[in-house]
Amino acid sequence: MIFVTGGTGLVGSHILLKLAQEAKPFKALKRSSSSLEVCENVFSYYNAIDLFSKINWINGDINDIPSLEEGMQDCELLLHCAAVVSFCPADTDLLKKVNIEGTANVMNVALSKGVKKVGYISSIATLGRNSTDGLVDEECHFKATKLDSNYAFSKYFAEQEVWRASQEGLDVVIVNPSVILGPGDWNKGSSQIFLRLYKGLKFYTSGSTGYVDVVDVADSLVTLLFSDVKNERFIINGANLKYRDCFDRIAMALGKSKATIKVTPFLKELAWRGEAIRSFITGKNPLLTKETANSAMTSNEFSTQKIKTMIDYKFTDIDATIHKYADWFIADLK
């Protein structure tokens, strides 16, 4: 039996779908207040709504230890996907509570319940991408810089909890995905890239990063969980692209105009400060923060040689990914 946290999110929903399609027995943790809309939509996209209705949901929370103990009863495997993704300064305490303390709780209960192997969704944010010149791989260890976000710190320390559990007897595999492209809630996370470009995003930056299909994130983690690989981490990245290149491809797939205004360092400083003022006045989370503005100006490339060598993993073509989700986005507008 497999215990899954974070099954109502973008990556977690695709992991539940893969497990269901492969008839793997699993239980999925969710908070009593969580919406199942994203997960249901994902199953619907793949014409698997009948499988969605059969999911064994367990009400609980990764910060509620008794619910974790009950949920992990009789489970030999664990997929930990639950996390908060936020670059809003006001969410710093929440990031610590969920990403770090929650992960520590999950690992501790897994150890006490005799779970044999854990698969964990980390991030490229835990790699030394801001302190490394050239291609970033799994050996580029995290070194704090002024460019690293509170989210990056929270995921780094969360990952340390997973490594700590491996030293205490758990077999672990960790995936470090780049920017994840996929369907679900088009107003949240990286999925909102499609919404912003559909509405006519005019600005682009000089930076670059990696992009990956959410299906590859889910497939690679499940494959690693059932493999003989243990106590290793892997970069999951479909393509290294300039932000402008990626945005141009998505805009074209959506039938929209490309961004034409390059963001200069001066314009970047004005933008995040203006957004901070808007957020203060309206009480809404900022669409752009100092952290995300700085990140958009940096350039990184990520190597996937390790996972290609160890399990012969083949990533989805990035243009196929973009066109698939652009079509789904347009279909959701109707």
- What predicted TM-score, i.e. pTM, was given to this entire model? 0.92
DSSP class per residue in 240-270: EEEHHHHHHHHHHHHT-PPP-EEPPHHHHHH
260-282 exposure pattern, b = at least 16 Cβ within 10 A, e = fewer = eeebeeeebeebbeebeeebeee
**CATH number corresponding to 2-180+212-238+302-317:** 3.40.50.720
Quote the pLDDT of residue 288.
Answer: 64
User: Looking at residue 279, what is its pLDDT?
Assistant: 66
- Provide DSSP, 149-161: -HHHHHHHHHHHH
Collapse the DSSP code of 59 into the 3-class scheme (helix H, G, I; strand E, B; otherwise coil) and give the result: strand
pLDDT 10s per residue in the chain (334 long)? Answer: 999 999 999 999 999 999 999 999 999 999 999 999 999 999 999 999 999 999 999 999 999 999 999 999 999 999 999 999 988 888 999 999 999 999 999 999 999 999 999 999 999 999 987 777 789 999 998 888 877 889 999 999 999 999 999 999 999 999 999 999 999 788 887 888 899 889 988 888 888 999 999 999 999 999 999 999 999 999 999 999 999 999 999 999 999 988 888 877 766 676 667 766 766 677 666 666 776 766 777 888 999 999 999 999 999 999 999 999 999 999 988 7
- Residue 120 phi/psi, 5-degree rounding, is -125, 135
Q: Count CA atoms within 13 Å of residue 111 on its CB side.
A: 16
Could you tell me which residues come within 8 angstroms of residue 180 by beta carbon, excluding any fewer than 6 positions away? 10, 11, 189, 190, 211, 212, 213, 214, 217
Instruction: Name residue, tokens 């040689």.
Output: 305
CA distance 332 to 28: 26
Residue 134 is predicted with a pLDDT of 80
Beta strands 26-30; 171-177: pairing state? unpaired
Tokens found for residue 146 = 């002024």
Q: Alpha-carbon distance 27 to 71, whole Å?
A: 7
Do 121 and 175 form a contact (C-beta atoms < 8 A)? Answer: yes
What per-residue confidence (pLDDT) applies to 205?
85
Among candidate residues 300, 149, 170, 190, the one with its CA nearest the CA of residue 235: 300
For residue 254, the Cα-to-chain-centroid distance in whole angstroms is 23
Q: Where are the domains of the chain?
A: 2-180+212-238+302-317
CA distances from 10 to 118, 164, 174, 191, 297 (A): 19, 27, 17, 9, 26
HSE (side-chain half, CA atoms, 13 Å) at 157: 16
Give buried/exposed letters for 116-130 (b at 16+ CB in 10 A, else e): ebbbbbbbbbbbbbb
Secondary structure class of 209 (helix, strand, coil): strand
Backbone angles phi, psi at 83, to 5 degrees: -170, 160
The closest of 27, 31, 32, 36 to 8, measured between CA atoms, is: 36
| Total residues belonging to the chain | 334
CA atoms in the 13 A half-sphere facing the CB of 98: 18
**CA dist., res. 194 & res. 55, Å (int):** 29
